[in-house]
Amino acid sequence: MAVNASCAKCDTPLENGSITTDDGAEVQVSQCPSCEGMIKSPLCCGEDMSCTV
């Protein structure tokens, strides 16, 4: 499955990236290369969802 997403602010296609949380966990994000906006992975029960594969 694939999803095409673009920034709502500047309509630039989002790129895959990651951020490191305060506790050292790495979380996948989709970020805009133009205006530096980003969305992160969803939460479940207050924890970032991640894939162990």
Which of left, alpha, beta for 46 (phi over 0: left; psi -120 to 50: alpha)?
left
Q: Measured between alpha carbons, how far is 23 from 5 in angstroms, rounded to an integer?
A: 28
**Strand residue runs (E) in 1-53:** 15-20, 26-31, 38-40, 43-44, 47-48
Predicted TM-score of the model (pTM): 0.62
Taking only the tens place, the pLDDT of each residue in 6-41 is: 988 999 999 988 888 888 888 888 899 998 788 876
Per-residue model confidence (pLDDT) at position 2: 72
Q: Measured between alpha carbons, how far is 14 from 38 in angstroms, rounded to an integer?
A: 8
Per-residue model confidence (pLDDT) at position 13: 92
Per-residue model confidence (pLDDT) at position 49: 67
Q: pLDDT confidence of 3, banded at 50, 70, 90? A: confident
